[in-house]
Amino acid sequence: MSIITPTTTPNADDQTRPDQVPFWQALKLWFKLGFIGFGGPAAQISLLHRELVEQRRWISERRFLHALNYCMLLPGPEGQQLATYMGWLMHRTKGGIAAGVLFVLPSLFFLIALSWLYIAYGHVPLIAGLFYGIKPAITAVVVHAVHRIGSRALKNNLMWAIAAASFVAIFAMNVPFPVIVATAALLGYLGGRYIPHKFTVGGGHGESKKSYGPALIDDETPPPAHAQFRWLGLTKILAVGAVLWCLPMAVLTLRFGWDHILTQMGWFFTKAALVTFGGAYAVLPYIYQGAIGHYNWLTPTQMIDGLALGEANPGPLIMVVAFVGFVGAYVQAVFGPDLQFLAGATAAVLVTWFTFLPSFIFILAGGPLVESTHGNLKFTAPLSGITAAVVGVILNLAVFFAYHVLWPQGFSGSFDWISALMAIAAAIALVRYKRNVIHVIAASAVIGFLLKTVFTVYFAMFI
C-alpha cells in the first residue's frame, strides 16, 4: 500500500500514515489559512481541525484537542495560538513563529487598507451592501462551528451539563469569564479524581463515530526532542520575549515620551493582551472603555464600524486593535498632516506587535509542559472541563451576534427576515452541501451588495 503524501486528502477508511511534512509545505498551508480564516475563533478552530486532523492527518484528534484545551485556557486569540502551537509541534520554534505570523499578517494588511479607505473616504453604498451580506453568513459560520466543536468536546451528559451551566452563567447572570473558567477547572480536577471516566479525553474521543486514520503525530507519538520540557529552554524563551517587548517600548519612550499616543498604545494593548480570557468579544468592553472613554482615540461609531471591518476580515477578530491604532494615530496626525497614512499604518503595526507577542511567548514557553502532560489526567481533566465550559461561552457569543444581525434595532424594532433567510441559506450550504467557508461568505457578500444597491435603485424607480 502506498504512503499518502501530506498534500493528499485521505479517505476515512485509509489506514496509512502520512509522510513527514516539509517546512515549505506547512508554510503554504499557514499562508492559505491567513486568507480564509473568516468567522472568528470558533470557525478558525474548526478550519484548523478540518485541515490538520481530517484532511491532512498531520495530527491526531486527541493531540489536537489537548493543544486546544491549553489555548482555551490562555488569554489571547485561541485560533492564532492553536496555529502557532501546531506549527511549533511540527517544525520547532521557526514553525511556530511562521504559523502564528502568517495567520495574522494578511489580516493586518487588509485592515490597514480598509481602515484607510474608511477614515479617508467615509461610508459608501458598496461597503454597506457587502457588510449587509457578510454578517448573516458569519452568523451561520459561527453557529456551525460551535456545533462542530461541541460535538467533539461534549462526549457525555456531564460535559453537556458544564457547557449548559456556563452558557446560563454568562448569558443570564453575566458571570465573569475567569470565574467560569476557574469553576470548570475545579469541577474537572474533582471529576478527574472521583469520576475519571467522565473526564478522560482519550476515552471520549476514542468513541467518535468517525475515524480519520493514523496521523503523522498520533495519540501515542512521543513528543519530539524540541518539545521536551527543559528549564533552560523556558528561561531562554522568557528572556527573548522580555527583550522583544522592552526594546520597542524603550525606543518609543525615549523617542516620543511616555505620554505620547504611540507609547500609550503599546502599553494599553499589552495589558489588553493579558486580560482577553474568552476571546476577542471578552476584551471588546475593555478596549471600548480605554480607547474611547479614557484616551479618546476614536468615537463610539468608529469603534462599531471597526468591529464590522474585523468581522468581515480574515484572521482573529481581535485584529480590530489594528483599526483602533490606525484611526487613533491617523486622526491625531502624530507624524504631521502630510504623513497621516504613515502614522496610522505605524500605529496599526505597533499595536499588533504588542497584542500578539504574549501569545507567542505563551505557546513557545508553555508548549513543552503541555506536551509532557497529554497523558496525565490530573492536567487533562481540568482542561476538559474548561473546554466544555468554553463551548457554552462561545454559544453565548453566537447568540449575541445573531441578535444584532436579525434585530439590528433591538427587539423593539423590526425583524430582518432577509438576513434571517441569508443566514439559513448559508447554514444549509455549510452543513448540507459542505461548501467552503470563503465561498459562502463571498456569495453572501455579493447578494448583500445586490440587495442594497442594484435592487434598491430598481425598486425606487418602479415603485
Could you read off the pLDDT of 252-291 as tens digits, one per residue? Answer: 999 999 999 999 999 999 988 886 655 665 566 677 778 8
Over residues 312-323, the mean pLDDT reads: 85
Q: Do you know the residue count of the chain?
A: 463
Could you read off the pLDDT of 197-229 as tens digits, one per residue? Answer: 787 654 333 334 455 778 888 877 887 888 888
For residues 96 and 365, is the Cβ–Cβ distance under 8 A? no
pLDDT classification of 23: cutoffs 50, 70, 90: very high
pLDDT classification of 380: cutoffs 50, 70, 90: low
Could you read off the pLDDT of 393-446 as tens digits, one per residue? Answer: 778 767 877 887 888 887 888 899 998 999 999 989 988 887 877 788 788 888
pLDDT classification of 1: cutoffs 50, 70, 90: very low
For residues 350 and 384, is the Cβ–Cβ distance under 8 A? no
Could you read off the pLDDT of 132-153 as tens digits, one per residue? Answer: 887 788 778 777 767 776 777 7
* pLDDT for res 386: 78
* Strand-pair partners of 217: 59
Torsion of CA 65, 27, 14, 206, to 10 degrees: -10
Helix (H, G, I), strand (E, B) or coil at 56: coil
Q: What are phi and psi of 68, to 5 degrees?
A: -65, -40
* pLDDT for res 39: 64
Backbone φ/ψ region at 225: left (φ over 0), alpha (ψ -120 to 50), beta: alpha
* Strand-pair partners of 206: none
**Burial grade of 288 (CB within 10 A; 0-12, 13-18, 19 or more):** middle
Helix, strand and coil percent figures for the chain, each rounded to 5 = 75, 0, 25
* pLDDT for res 85: 94
**Hey, what's the cell of 73?**
485556557
DSSP code per residue over 71-137? HHHSSS-HHHHHHHHHHHHHHHHHHHHHHHHHHHHHHHHHHHHHHHHHHHH---HHHHHHHHHHHHH
